[in-house]
Amino acid sequence: MHDPTHDYLEQCRAEHSMLRSVVDRLDLPPRFRAAYAGRLTSRPFFARESVLRDLTRDLAALYDLLTSLPERLFDGDVARYAEALNIPPVEAGLMRRVDDRRPSLHARADFYRDGDSFTLLELNIGSQLGGIDLAAMSRALLHDEEFAQFAGRHGLRHGDQGAELVASVREAADAAGIIGDPTVALVEADGTFARYPLVFAAIEEMLLALGLRVLPAELGEVSTRDGRVQVRGEGIDVVLRFFSPDQIADDQHALSLVHDILKLHERGAVTVFTPLEHYLYSNKGTFALLSAARSRGLLDRHEQALVDRLLPWTHLLTEDRAQVDGQDVDALEYCCEHRTDLIVKPAADFAGNGVVAGWECESREWAELLRDRRTRGGVVQRRVVPCPEEVVDPLTGETAELVGNWGVYLTHRGLAGSHVRAQPADSGAVISFGGNTATTMSPVMYA
């Protein structure tokens, strides 16, 4: 059997190919189509399912390591751990409000790929994950006659991150003793729905198609009365959390409301899916702490191999000294000298906000940025160069190259779906659907 990527591209290059225009003719759900209008890559991507399942096993082991960092490095003191990550005290208080040192795993890992080798850029943990509706495109592809024939020849299948989210929400409701269908509110910070109306409409459409009715609500529409969380007068069993600590830290009303919701969560009167503790372990500074634990001999042989296999070198910008390939160096001097091999990222932002690539900076600009971020926090990370991904233009048949960010979803059940965000290599260092209009999305089909 041929490699599906090679076979797909060869068929798309053929004159009068019907396969190369498949994305343009897909029968997609209306809200999904509106949300992704003009932003779908002209082909799906392909990967060996066995490779991705091995990868998710590594990620689950990495999650165990991350949740052990407070104990390994700070004698179990989570407050000191949060301080080392430069997490503001109010946000840290929210993250620590419910005491669970290992919250349930629901995550999307972002990778650059080189063949069957994947290097981890960040691990986004929690229910507020983008791209959870991309399986709609996979299903539509398999309903297209031309693509279905291709998929049949290669035995292609796909994951479904939306279905996995629904399964996890129902599992959480069952654990809380909810009988029958739970009443679920998808809760965001005030003003967010107005900024991303098409995205949230598509998510609601997907959840309803999967049998889960949700009440979309911003925090201003949520109240706690008679010992329950309520949305527009309706009692809520599960809060499907999409807001983040930084969105509410400066809003006293929202802050007080979330603390009240978390109290009810502790009493079992409502289930918050997922808890805010996840932000303690999805902070990008955790990779730097793992590097520190490795250099101090706090990881066993298998754990060291795991870190080396998955992670690029990462350093907290607030630390003056750095361990680089076993050598203790002045962090600022090293980062200035190796500017073209490094990228700076904020510890807790998203959509590529605040990310600066050293190879796109002049030396003076880079040095000033490093000095500024030493006080503001964040990380510097060794550059990862992905292999190019070829696509065929649906109109001309010409081949172009994209670079892709591979999103791999996982829960405690394992692999939970995959997608790729891709863009032309010359359109910037940050591959971000929300932060770069050149970025397009596509699902991953498994062979």
Q: What is the mean pLDDT of residues 8-22?
A: 95
Residue range 353-385, pLDDT digits in tens: 778 999 999 999 999 999 988 877 889 999 999
Of the candidates 290, 315, 287, 281, which has an alpha carbon nearest to the alpha carbon of residue 87? Answer: 281
Is residue 419's pLDDT more than 90?
yes
β-partners of residue 315 are 380
Distance CA 393, CA 46 (A): 18
Helix (H, G, I), strand (E, B) or coil at 7: helix
Residue range 122-171, pLDDT digits in tens: 999 999 999 999 999 999 999 999 999 999 999 999 999 999 999 999 99
**0.85 surpassed by pTM:** yes
Please give the distance of CA 308 from its chain centroid, rounded to a whole number: 21
Is residue 98's pLDDT more than 90?
no
CATH (domain of 223):
3.40.50.1760
219-223 contacts, C-beta under 8 A, 24 or more apart: 219/187, 219/188, 219/189, 219/190, 219/243, 219/248, 219/254, 219/257, 219/258, 220/190, 220/253, 220/254, 222/185, 222/187, 222/257, 222/261, 223/257
Q: Does the CA dihedral 61-76-376-314 come out positive or negative?
A: negative
What pLDDT sits at residue 430? 82
What pLDDT sits at residue 374? 84
Distance CA 348, CA 217 (A): 24
What pLDDT sits at residue 349? 66
Q: What is the mean pLDDT of residues 308-330?
A: 91
Residue range 157-211, pLDDT digits in tens: 999 999 999 999 999 999 999 999 999 999 999 999 999 999 999 999 999 999 9
Is residue 101's pLDDT more than 70?
no
Residue 195 lies in a domain: yes
What pLDDT sits at residue 436? 86
Is residue 348's pLDDT more than 90?
no
What pLDDT sits at residue 396? 92
Of the candidates 206, 224, 197, 98, which has an alpha carbon nearest to the alpha carbon of residue 161? Answer: 206
Give the chain's mean pLDDT.
Answer: 93
Q: What is the mean pLDDT of residues 263-275?
A: 93
- Between 101-110, 123-132, 235-244, the lowest mean confidence (pLDDT) is in 101-110
What pLDDT sits at residue 115? 80
The percentage of residues in the chain with a pLDDT greater than 90, rounded to a whole number, is 84
What pLDDT sits at residue 2? 78
The percentage of residues in the chain with a pLDDT greater than 70, rounded to a whole number, is 98
Distance CA 48, CA 28 (A): 25
Angle of CA points 4, 7, 9, to nearest 5°? 105
Structure-token pair, residue 195:
């900024």
The answer to whether residues 376 and 391 touch, using CB atoms and an 8 Å cutoff, is no
CB within 8 A of 14, min separation 6: which ones? none
Is residue 426's pLDDT more than 90?
no
Q: Strand runs (DSSP E) across 60-150, as ranges?
A: 106-114, 117-125
Q: What are phi and psi of 196, to 5 degrees?
A: -130, 55
Is residue 30's pLDDT more than 70?
yes
Residue range 392-418, pLDDT digits in tens: 999 999 999 999 999 999 999 999 999
Residue 165 lies in a domain: yes
Residue 295 lies in a domain: no
More confident residue, 196 or 275: 196
- Give Cα separations from 392 to 11, 385, 396, 436 (angstroms): 10, 22, 8, 21
What pLDDT sits at residue 423? 95
Residue 314 lies in a domain: no
Residue 39 lies in a domain: no
User: Residue 259: which domain range?
Assistant: 161-276
Is residue 352's pLDDT more than 70?
no
What pLDDT sits at residue 286? 94
Is residue 1's pLDDT more than 60?
no
Angle of CA points 306, 310, 316, to nearest 5°? 100
Q: Does the CA dihedral 141-145-147-151 come out positive or negative?
A: positive
Is residue 220's pLDDT more than 60?
yes
Residue 1 lies in a domain: no
In 10 A of CB 321, how many CB atoms? 11
Is residue 41's pLDDT more than 80?
yes
Residue 329 lies in a domain: no
Distance CA 298, CA 304 (A): 9
Please give the distance of CA 263 from its chain centroid, rounded to a whole number: 27
What pLDDT sits at residue 97? 81
Number of domains in the chain: 1
CB within 8 A of 239, min separation 6: which ones? 184, 185, 187, 229, 261, 265, 270, 271, 272, 273
